[in-house]
Structure formats: structure tokens, C-alpha cells
Amino acid sequence: MIADIGYFALLIAFVTAIYAAVAAWYGKSKDKMRWVESARNATIIILPLVVLSCALLVTSILRNDFSLEYVWRVSSIEMPTYLKFTSLWGGQAGSLLFWNLLLAIFTAVAMARKWHEQKELMPYALIVISMTQIFFLGLSAFVENPFTRLDVIPPNGNGLNPLLRHPGMIIHPPMLYLGFTGFIIPYTFAIAALMAGKLDDGWIRTTRRWTLVAWLFLSLGLILGGRWAYDVLGWGGYWGWDPVENASFMPWLAGTAFLHSVMIQEKRHMFKMWNMFLIILTYSLVIYGTFIVRSGVISSVHSFARSAIGPLFFAFIAIMFIFSAYWVNRRRDELASTNSLQSLLSREAAFLYNNFLILAILAVVFLFTNYPIVSELFTGEKGFVGPPVYEKALAPLFGLLVLLMGVAPLTMWYRSSVKRLGRAMRWPAIASTITVIVLFILNIRGWGALVGFWAATFATFLTLLEFWKGTRARMKRGESVWAAFSNLMARNRRRYGGYWIHMGVLIMAFGVIGVEVFQQETQLRLEKGGSLTLGRYEMVFNDINRFPGPDDLMITEATMDVYVDGRLVDTITPRTELYTRTGQPMTIPDARSTIAEDFYVLLVNWEPTSANSATFRVFLNPLINWVWGGGIIFVLGTLIAAWPDRKKQSVAARSRRVAIGAAD
Amino acid sequence: MGNREWEVGSEKWQALRVTLYVLVLAVFLGAAIPSVAQDGSEGDDSGLKKAVTANDVNKIAKRVYCPVCESTPLDVCQTQACADWRDIIRQKLEEGASEQEIFDYFSNLYGDRVLAEPPREGFSLLLWLLPLIIVPLGAVFFSRYMRNLKATAVQSVSVPDTAVPDAAASSDYLARIEKELENN
């Protein structure tokens, strides 16, 4: 009964989305605003319907209603209650429904809030967003229906995949999905602007904060995903260039390029066509990413053919792409740049270099991610591209991007002089060169790492200098250091938020170079009381215990004392967890964690461990915590940049903008 | 006024362009060469059984992926099949096989997809070549595009001179003004 109501709500939501598209189109073409308003109300009504559907699915999970196939798949009687909630996105059908929920929230908020601001765009925005909703609601209602019943009711369910029980994995998918669905809003307004022929930067201003927020969530999702891999997957790393990871990295890249290049349009009214292309690309990659994750097409072309979901996604991406391309083509004259590039050494040019590098990275990742499919199509043999290939191809591009990240903020709009740039870069260049020489003297080798460190140090000095220059300029007005600094942040949130983000990325870059180049590892079988040495660390195997955990869990935990230079610094407990019902093992590491490095220990379960000996795999991960620390700064920077202005300020800013526009 | 020297088509511009191409090429070659050099250097077969440590096995297992376990390298994978594969690696190492011989053994049996790095021959050569072609080609198109953008700028005089911060006069003061203007 409950499930039937849930499914019914989903069906009504689907029909409502169709109605919204038709009503918006009819209202616009017959110039009847009441129909457009009705369409808007329809998109808002979809939200409570999808909420109801999700709530009832969760209720079914909580009630252990194993007559539903989905509930049987992802839940079990013994599972803790909080996991039963998160099971909503623990499987295919549920996560698609969850996708619909987030899309419905974004849509309802956007349509309710932007109604007066962008009235001319609204009818078109309604049509575009309803098309996306029709597709995803239809997918949930007819193809991946979470309310499908089983013929025979099993006594208990499978339980959630153990890999998905970690806190990181519980919040990681919602973050990614928020990022994915968030980008649909700027796309919607972009296409609406095309259809309405209103090609000023209104759509960009309207959706600027949406874009940043979507990007923030996607970034958070990527960082949390990395942390989850590091904490749970037990391989000493955080990013494996897995197709599923790439699926969320690619829209992030396109979104990053877009975030940068819209600034040219806002400031100089250039590259309207290019920005359209980038947001369409981002949207396509969002849908494509969902498709990769949900269809399993990369792991096997056969799963693509077996499940109906693959061809449907393919058709939908094609339709939306052709639809977008049609409108871009129709408006191509109006999209042509009115202003032109003054110099190759200017802020706008720097943004374009950024776009080029990011798109080059995107192209390589796209090529490698899809190689298995292409290979299977042409040779009949499935291909595979491992992390070493990605690293070789992308390292130089990332290096150039880091350099650009430091230099670009020095450039000015219109044109910058070589002399001025040179002067601004001289001291940071010298300081970073000295830093690298010191590193070399400290016995750090490898030209790749040294070049990387140099680029990251150089960019870091340049970025810090930008903060300092701004602060000093304000201090000359008589403000104290702290007041000058915080006022600078508050008055120029977007710019300095951006620099904070750059700082975060640079700190992460140090961490990435540290781990990728200087990681050490060793594996050894130890008797109780035996020890192992890696770098400055010595580890003594004290004890090992086996005991039952919650649910069907059986835990084997080792106790290890960690010594640095002969001094006891920590006691850590790496362990293995066995989910006895499914027989799935997990290797949960533990680490002695410092700013300099992680001493990361895995209790390896290769051979069945006897009572008195066990095999350990130990990693020394230099600078790994810089990756997480940089991630936090990155997120804070994005928050600074996206934080809403107070009303008064934004009015003032708007009038100032008009003044600038006139000056242009 | 120093900027004029950097205009499209000027000598300095040409020099900059050539330098850029060379740099990009060097960077990519640099990325490719050390790995090529690595490949041939492994493998001395000094007969007799060797003492093989878990580290020796891991070093190779890291770069092998069994066909069943998606995207999980052999050194991490927990399945019995992967444990068996690790034993094969150990045996081969004990028999004195080189790294490359072990990779070849697995790829002959199960295809190239078990290798983290596909071989640089046949169809998968494409994989190695395409980035080296696409990115530089993209760079050429991109620089052409930028040049065109610049070329139209020479014809159309659309920006008032006041908006161009003069190199000489661009003191902190002007920089600050620019910053203030940008505040929105």
C-alpha cells in the first residue's frame, strides 16, 4: 500500500513535468502569462510529490518490506536505522529517485526565487528544465522503478554494500549529486537566454551563485570521495582514475573552465559563444557522468546493451545536445564577440589559457575513460587504462596550470606590460628557486618532483603576494593589518575567495607531488612482538584480537606501537572487517598522522592469519595531509566567494556595474 | 608602449610562439621518454631460485589488474583469484623471470586489459599517441584563434585609452583602482 502511493506520487510528478513543459510552451506562444505561471507552479508541485515518493521508499526500508526488490537489495533487518535512511541512495533505482529529489529541490527554488528577476527567460527556462525532469522522472517511473515488487517475499534482505557504510560514503554521493543537479540550473538559464534572444549577461549573473554552489558540492564530493578511498579501500591512495571517479571529475573540469571564462563575459562582454559552449559541455558531462556511473557502460559494453538505461541516456544526451546546438546556431550572430582581445598578456587572455589547459586535461581524461569502449568496438578486446598512463599524460598539463594559477592574477584587463609582470614575478621566482635548491640539498631528488615543487612554490608566493598587496593598499588608508585584511576579503569576496581557492589547490598540489613521487611501502609477515622499519618509523606488533562487531560484522584488530627515532609516539589499530553474511572483507587502515607524513598501516588478509602472526602492509605517505588541509581551504574559499551579499551592497554593486558598462 | 613590440606578427611574438611550441613539445617528450627508457632496463636472469619478498611481488602486482575485479590492482584485491595470480607472480620471480616477462605472460593469457599500462604497439599505441597529437594540435588551433581575436583588435579601436593602464603609470594606486572597480 505504502509503496503503491509512493509509485503513484512518482507517476503524478512525471505527468506534472510533461504538463509544465507543454503549458510553458503554450503560454509563451499564445502570450498567455497565466499558463506560464501555471507551468511554474507545476514545477514547484513536483517537489512535494518527489519528497513523498522518497519518504515512502525510506518508510518501506524502515519497515523491512522485502516485497520490494530495492529494499531487499540494499537493506536487511539487522541494519542500523541510520543506514536504512542512507540506503535511499545505496542502489541504482534509489539513487536515481534521490537524483530526482535534488533536481526537484533545485528546480523549485530556482523557479520560485528567480521569477521576478528574469521574467522574460522564465517560460523558456521552464521548458528546458522540464525536459530534464521528464527524462529523469520517466527513468525512475518506468525503467528503474524502486517500487518494483518481487514475486516471492524473502525473509531478509542483502544489506547495504559494506563499502557504502562508511560515513564518507554516506555523504559523498549526495554531495556529488548536488553538484551534478546544481549545474542543470545555469544550463537551463543559458538555453533560456538563447531561446529568448536575450544574450546579455543576465543569465550569467542570475546563475552565478548557483554555479558556484554546484561547483562547491561537486568539489566536496570529489574530496570526500578521495578521503573515503584513503580510509576504506585500503590501498594507500586517494584517487585511482577509475571511470566512476572520472565521471565526476570531467563535469568539474568543464565547470571550472566555465567559472573562469564567465568573468570575461561579465567584465568585457566577450566570448558569449564560448561560455554557451562551456555550460552546454558541463551539462552534457553531468548527464554523461550519471550515465557512466549508472549504466556501468565502461566496465562492460554488454551491460550497456542489457539494461534499457544505457540507450535511453544516450538518446537523451543526443537530443539535448542537438537542441542546444540548434539554438546556439540560430543565435550565432548575436553571440559573436563585440569587443576584441587587446593583448596576449591580459587578464582575458590568461583566462583563455586557463580554459585551454583545463579542456586539454578534460580531453585526455575523456579519451582514456572511454578507451575501453572504443577498444572493444574496434578490436573486440576490452582495453584498460591504468593510473600510470593518466599520470604521465596529465602531469605536464597540471604543472602548467599551477604556474598559470600563480601568474594569471597579476595580469590586468585589456593589457599588461611585460615589464610590470616581470617585476612582480622576480622575487617570487628567486624565492622559489632558493626553496627548490634547499630541497635538493635536503636530499630530495627527481626532476619531476623538483619542477613540480618549484611551480607550486612560485605560484604560492605569487598568490600570497596578491593578498599582501591588497592588504597593504588598505593599510595605507590607516587601517590596521587585521582590519585591512578582513575588509579586503569582505569587499572583494569573489576575487579573494578565488585566491583562497587557488591557495587550497596549491597546498593540495604539494600533497599530491609528495604522495605520488615519494610514497614508500613495504610488506612483511610479523610474529607477535616482531617489528618492521620504514623510514624513520619502527612498528612493533603487540597483539591481535578477533571479536564480533555490530550487525553481521567480524572484526580482526591488530595493536601496533609506533616508534619514531626510538621513541614511542602512537599506538594504532589497523583491522579487517568481514561481513559474514555476504562474505565481503574490508581492510580498514590506521595511521600515525602528522603534517609531514602518514605512517599508514594495513592488516593484510592474504593468508588466513594464525593467532600469533600476521602480514602487514605499510605505506609512508609524505604530505598526504596537505591534500586534505588544502581541500578544507579550497572549500572555505568557495564559501567566501559564494556567500550572498547583503541587499544594500548588491544594489550599490549593481549601480557601479552600470557605471562600468557605460565606461566600456 | 612596450606592448606594441608584442603585437601579433611582430618578431617578439614570433619568437614567443616558437618558444611555446618547443616548450610544449619538450614537456611532452619529457613525460614520455623516462618511461620508455625504463622498459628495456629490467630483467637479468642469473639462474637459480631467488628469495622473493612480498615487496617484489607487490611491485609487479601493482601494475596488473585481473579481468574480474573492476579497477582494483592485484596488490590490493582480496579475491581468491587475485591471490592465485600473486602466487604466479611469486613463482615466476623465483624462477628468475623479469618484470616484462611476467607482464607478457599475463597479457598473452588474458589480453592487454590486465596491464595498467597498455603496450605501445597495435591498437593501444593510439592511446599513447593521441594525447601527444590532440594537445599540441589543440595548442596550434588555440594560438591561431587567439591571433585572430587579436587581429580584429588591431582594426577596431573600441577601447578608450583611459581604460588601458599605462605600464609606466601603473603604480599600486592604479592597481587598487582596478581592484575596486572589479568589486561586485
d(CA B114, CA B74): 10
Least confident of A236-245, A291-300, A391-400, B164-173: B164-173
Q: Which pLDDT band, with edges at 50, 70 and 90, does A375 fall under?
A: confident
pLDDT the model gives residue A302: 52
The more confidently predicted of residues A243 and A251 is: A251
A537 has which bridge partners? Answer: A534, A564
CA dihedral of A162, A164, A169, A172, whole degrees rounded to 10: 170
Chain B window 52-81: which residues touch A at a Cβ cutoff of 8 Å? 53-55, 58, 63, 65, 67, 70-73, 75-76, 78
> Mean per-residue pLDDT for B44-63?
77
Contact by Cβ (8 Å): B126, A378: no
Per-residue model confidence as pLDDT tens digits over A387-437: 999 999 999 999 999 999 999 888 888 878 888 888 888 899 999 999 999
Using the beta-carbon criterion (under 8 Å), do A387 and B83 form an inter-chain contact?
no
One-letter amino acid at A37 equals: E
Report domain A518-625's class. Answer: mainly beta
Q: Which of A232, A300, A340 to mutate to test the interface with B (most CBs of B within 10 A)?
A: A340
Return mean pLDDT, chain A: 88
Taking an 8 Å cut-off on Cβ atoms, the answer to whether B182 and A267 are in contact is yes
**Bigger pLDDT: A319 vs A308:** A319
Give the residue, B93 or B175, on which the prediction is more confident. Answer: B93
pLDDT for position A22: 96
Nearest-Cα distance to chain B for A353, in Å, is 9
Q: Which candidate from A341, A344, A660 shows the least CB-CB separation from B181?
A: A660
Contact check, Cβ <8 Å, B30/A371? no
Provide, as residue numbers in chain A, all residues whose Cβ is less than 8 Å from the Cβ of B86. Answer: 606
- pLDDT for A664: 39
Q: Tell me, what's the pLDDT at A133?
A: 96
**Poorest-pLDDT segment among A220-234, A480-494, B66-80:** B66-80
- How far apart (Å, rounded) are the C-alpha atoms in residues B26 and B35? 15
Q: How far is A618 from chain B (nearest CA, A)?
A: 11
Q: What is the pLDDT of residues A81-124, one digit of tens each?
A: 899 999 998 888 899 999 999 999 999 999 988 777 778 899 99
Per-residue pLDDT of A87-97, as tens digits, reads 998 888 899 99
Count the helix, strand and coil residues of chain B and give each as a percent rounded to the nearest 5.
65, 0, 30
Q: What is the rounded CA–CA span in Å between residue B119 and residue A385? A: 10
Cβ pair B184:A392 closer than 8 A:
no
Distance, CA of A4 to CA of A146 (rounded, Å):
11
Q: Give B 98-137 residues with CB within 8 A of chain A.
A: 111-118, 123-124, 127-128, 130-131, 134-135
CB contact under 8 A, B55 and A522: yes
Query: Count of CB atoms within 10 A of residue A96's CB?
Result: 23
Question: Region A65-86: what's the mean pLDDT?
Answer: 91
Interface contact B2, partner A, CB < 8 A: yes
CB of B51 within 8 Å of a chain A CB? The answer is no
This model of the complex carries an ipTM of 0.78
CB contact under 8 A, A342 and B153: yes
Is residue A543 within 8 Å of residue A558, measured between CB atoms?
A: yes
Is the CB of residue A237 less than 8 Å from the CB of residue A515? yes
8 Å CB contact of A345 and B54: no
In 3D space, the residue among A584, A588, A585 whose CA is nearest the CA of residue A572 turns out to be A588
Average pLDDT in the A169-177 region? 87
Which of residues A284 and B49 earns the better pLDDT score? A284
Residue A658 has pLDDT above 60, yes or no: no
* Record: contact A341-B146, CB cut-off 8 A: yes
Under DSSP, is residue B176 helix (H, G, I), strand (E, B) or coil?
Answer: helix
d(CA A545, CA A524): 19
Query: Region A460-478: what's the mean pLDDT?
Result: 90
Residues contacting residue A566 through CB under 8 Å, at least 6 positions apart: A538
Which chain B residue has the Cα nearest residue A349?
B146
Q: Own/partner pairs for A261-265, CB < 8 Å, 24+ apart?
A: A261/A351, A261/A352, A261/A354, A261/A355, A262/A201, A262/A204, A262/A208, A262/A211, A263/A351, A264/A347, A264/A348, A264/A351, A264/A352, A265/A201, A265/A204
Q: List, for residues A491-519, the tens digit of each pLDDT value.
A: 888 889 999 999 999 999 999 999 999 99
A395: closest CA among A470, A471, A455, A349?
A455
Lowest-confidence segment of A553-562, A567-576, B172-181 by average pLDDT = B172-181
Nearest to B82 by CA among B99, B106, B98, B51: B106
d(CA A304, CA A601): 39
What is the bridge-based pairing of β-strands A584-588 and A590-593? unpaired
| Residue B167 pLDDT exceeds 90 | no
Residue B71 or residue B130, greater confidence: B130
A21-35, A633-647, B147-161: range with lowest mean pLDDT: B147-161
Q: Cβ separation of B63 and A386 shorter than 8 Å?
A: yes
